[in-house]
Structure 1
């Protein structure tokens, strides 16, 4: 590791494979456990996604995502947001690191920081985010808690292209999850994550296909 200072949809999503034989080069950004990083890596290993993870960038020193990357011999780079006074400075370092690893597409898989124009301009329409709600509902932090508080019957997750406005941008794929009467944030989060792990690799392939 390197330091720089009950679902409502079908359980099977068709495999989307890119038209080109050349694997797309991914840079993944994560802040926590890295379960979505693991899902993408597993989809690559299973032949469901024609891609290569060039680098994992993580911003919390204790993020388990870095351990997952290390186990797979994938470069893991710590870029701690606390070391930067301005978000633009953080994103400049992120862009530099992504470019050093020859990244083509950026995947925000549980990245808990707002992006700036620095990152968006460096990878226009090639940054993908996954969010634990059916956007445009429940943007921002604590989306699952927001859904429970609103007493909705259905929530889920969304994969979308990143724009400057938080949790906006073109929606690529969504999955719906029922909210049960006795759900807590933890129980609902567990079921939503199952769907996140399914749709994120498929949405990446879908987005890459549309660019080819």
Structure 2
């Protein structure tokens, strides 16, 4: 299966997915990295693995639909059949959702529905909860509101800082996301 990874920042989850495809833990090909930040660190990570990258500046399009249509055109050109959001900091709109209905997933650093949106790790830390976690979910038009596919808890210890908690969450993300993607791919192949 040819997948595209959308990322806006450092790209650690994108790199974990790429590595998983190379070690056959994930039976997929990363056909493309899509970013909305032309200077994002994910570009460097993708380049290190010879994965093609396209960077789109949303501000250079008159509408969100025009921006997303350009992305859809690129995905179709590269025969992408599944979209994986990995730190992509934009809400997906109708154009992309309708082109890839039921075939867009996201990872979020909390146990949704708790702490949706930006800085979920900081939100959990400030709320002084004892457990946060990681959620993989389908994408809909809301912010982190799509159907949950997989979740895994992460304990917040008394000695944790926001940084140490982020490291613990990322360890889970980097394992859980490729595992969950493989489960989805297996299910899709059984249905086809």
TM range (shorter): over 0.9
Alpha-carbon separation, structure 2, partners of 1:143 and 1:82: 26
Deviation of 1:87 (Å): 2.2
Alpha-carbon distance in structure 2 between the residues aligned to 1:101 and 1:64: 23
- 1:98-148 CA distance string (max 9 Å, x none): 111110000001100011011110001000100010011111111111111
Aligned to 2:18: 41
Task: Write the deviation string for residues 182-211 of structure 1: whole angstroms up to 9, x where unpaired.
Answer: 433222111101100001111111112222
> 2:82 maps to which residue?
105
Answer yes or no: is 1:138 the counterpart of 2:111: no
Q: Conserved in 2, the CA contact under 8 Å of 1:128 and 1:162?
A: yes
1:180 and 1:84, CA in 2 relative to 1: closer, same or farther beyond 3 A? farther
Q: Which has the higher contact order (CA 8 A, sep 6+)?
A: 1
* CA contact 1:106–1:126 (8 Å) conserved in 2: yes
Contact 1:61 1:78 in 2 (8 A): yes
Contact 1:32 1:60 in 2 (8 A): yes
Deviation, 1:88, is 2.0
Instruction: Tell me if the contact between 1:156 and 1:175 (Cα under 8 Å) persists in the aligned partners.
Output: yes
Q: Cα gap change, 1:85/1:191 in structure 2, threshold over 3 Å: closer, same or farther?
A: farther
1:93 aligns with 2:70: yes
Matched, 1:58 2:35: yes
Specify which of 115, 124, 131 is matched with residue 147 of structure 1.
124
List gaps (5 residues or longer) in structure 1.
1-23
Residue deviations 1:7-43 (CA, integer Å, cap 9, x gap): xxxxxxxxxxxxxxxxx10011000111111101111
Is 2:33 the partner of 1:67?
A: no
Paired position in structure 1 for 2:177: 200
Does the alignment pair 1:129 with 2:106?
yes
User: When the two structures are superposed, what TM-score results if normalisation uses the length of structure 1?
Assistant: 0.85
CA distance in 1, matches of 2:77, 2:162: 38
Query: Which protein has the bigger helix share?
Result: 2
C-alpha separation in 1, matches of 2:22 and 2:144: 29
Partner SS for 2:136: strand
Q: How many residues align?
A: 189
CA RMSD of aligned residues (A): 1.2
- Inter-partner Cα distance in structure 1 for 2:63 and 2:161: 35
What are the ranges of 5 or more consecutive residues in structure 2 without an aligned counterpart? Answer: none
